[in-house]
Amino acid sequence: MSDVNRRTFLASAGAGAAALAMGSTARAAGPNDQIRVAVIGFHGRGKSHIDAFTKNPHTAIATLCDIDTRLFDKAAKEVEDQTKKKPECVQDLRRVFDDKTIDVVTIATTNHWHALATVWACQAGKDVYVEKPVSHNFVEGRKMVEAARKYGRVVQTGTQNRSSEGVAGAVEFLRSGGIGTVFLAKGLCYKPRGSIGHKADSAVPAGVDYNLWLGPAPDRPFNANRFHYEWHWNWDYGNGDLGNQGIHQMDVARWGMGKEGTWPTKIIASGGRFGYKDDGETPNTEICTYRYDDCELIFEVRGLPTNDEQGVKVGNIFYGTKGYLVINGSKWATFLGSAGGKAYEPGPKGDGGGDHFGNFIDAVLARDPKKLHADIVEGHRSSALCHLGNIAYRTGRALDFDTKTETFPGDSQANAMLSRDYRSPFAMPEKV
């Protein structure tokens, strides 16, 4: 596939065909100005954001924002050492949205802050790069799409596989009928997750704005096992490994199946937190099945010692009427015919993410979300599949899903889990 065709394929698959009338950037920038970026949340994944935007010639990191001020000095020095300019450091993300000199915000906070921060950023006229999963619950994702469209913002989802030419080549091969009609896709998240143990509630560390960290979540005492990273395994803030690592492979599964605008009609899930007892709530073992009219998607999380499948522990397998295709990082291989056929690895063998941040900035400069490889609507739909699977797991029963109303008919318990109760004043607005 030529470079031009690959770029065309990536753009069309990642953003859809609808054109948007785009608004201006947050400020009137001159032709030689750099895009001013604020990074919100940089204890973990946000470090990659800092690295990417200090290296991009079109961007300048103007502000670093985190609820934990203990992180400020080191991060600010790293930016200054690389760019010769010291960024401002602020603790409250609302100050970032008030700053009219900021053009772009990137969001690498806890999952439960992704959606509200994105909506507020769009309302403030900022373009957004938001980490996966884009939302903490199903309804939030819908609000994010609404806000991006209403305010004409460029909003990229942090599902980097969408910028991988290797993965894009595999998807193109699938859609060309390379393995026949795809009737089953599997997403694999076989990633070791040990016990986090037990910790007692304690005082809030100095320098941490815990009220702001809680944000939309219920008020409760501080606990280190619900704070930096370990929040992933608590339902109030995270979505387990299905929504942590698994969202990447869920996105590839949906992309490869060609299910951009289609919801499953039935979801079945089972599993548990097996092998140890600790403060975590989310399952370390989970199997979710999503039934479509013409195929199924199966996603499996294994956090305990396990074998691989076709050499893959984190990746995807697609099954078709002519054989099957395996994606492992940016590499892929096909096994055709009843005897398995010949395996091969087309495409580059480098990093599976490509330049996802660069793709975002290209779209910002062009004021064109169609250039995005992972527009917010794709992030919403893939994140939503994770949420639906977790709802089926938590209710403990098979769930029918109405694809038109996007609800579970007659199931008040499951429908309540499509959203959440928000703690004032950190509520998602009914109208964005």
Containing structural domain, residue 49: 3-161+355-374
Sheet with strand 104-107: strands edge to edge: 88-90, 59-65, 35-40, 104-107, 127-130, 155-157
Tell me if 91 is assigned to some domain: yes
Among candidates 306, 305, 347, which has minimal Cα distance to 327? 347
Q: Tell me the DSSP string of 32-92.
A: TPPEEEEEE--SSTHHHHHHHHHH-TTEEEEEEE-SBGGGHHHHHHHHHHHHS-PPEEES-
Task: Kindly state whether residue 432 falls inside one of the protein's structural domains.
Answer: no
Query: What's the CATH number where 340 sits?
Result: 3.30.360.10
Structure tokens given for 76: 């600010």
pTM for the whole thing?
Answer: 0.92
Q: What is the average pLDDT score of the chain? A: 91
In a domain, 294, yes or no: yes
316 and 329 co-located in one domain: yes
CATH code: domain of residue 127: 3.40.50.720
Cα distances from 218 to residues 83, 93, 372, in angstroms, run 40, 19, 35
Residue 98 sits in the same domain as residue 242: no
Cβ atoms of 315 and 249 closer than 8 Å: yes
Co-location of 101 and 171 in the same domain: no
Instruction: Report in angstroms the alpha-carbon separations of 425 from 12, 113, 429.
Output: 38, 13, 10
Sheet strand arrangement including 182-190? 331-336, 323-328, 314-320, 182-190, 296-302, 285-291, 266-272, 399-400
Tell whether 234 is covered by a domain.
Answer: yes
Say if 327 falls within a structural domain.
Answer: yes
pLDDT one-digit tens code per residue, 50-101: 999 999 999 999 999 999 999 999 999 999 999 999 999 999 999 999 999 9
Phi and psi dihedrals of 335, rounded to 5? Answer: -130, 105
Q: For residue 103, which phi and psi values (nearest 5 degrees)?
A: -95, -40
How many domains would you assign to the chain?
Answer: 2
Instruction: Confirm whether 203 is domain-assigned.
Output: no
* Residue 289 in domain: yes
**Residue-wise pLDDT tens digits, 350-370:** 345 689 999 999 999 999 999
Q: What is the pLDDT along the chain (432 residues), one digit of tens a residue?
A: 433 343 343 444 433 333 333 455 555 554 458 999 999 999 888 899 999 999 999 999 999 999 999 999 999 999 999 999 999 999 999 999 999 999 999 999 999 999 999 999 999 999 999 999 999 999 999 999 999 999 999 999 999 999 999 999 999 999 999 999 999 999 999 999 999 999 999 999 999 999 999 999 999 999 999 999 999 999 999 999 999 999 999 999 999 999 988 999 999 999 999 999 999 999 999 999 999 999 999 999 999 999 999 999 999 999 999 999 999 988 898 888 765 555 544 444 434 568 999 999 999 999 999 999 999 999 999 999 999 999 999 999 999 999 999 999 999 999 999 999 999 999 999 999
Asked if 187 and 40 sit in the same domain, the reply is no
Looking at the structure, tell me whether residues 73 and 174 fall in a common domain. no
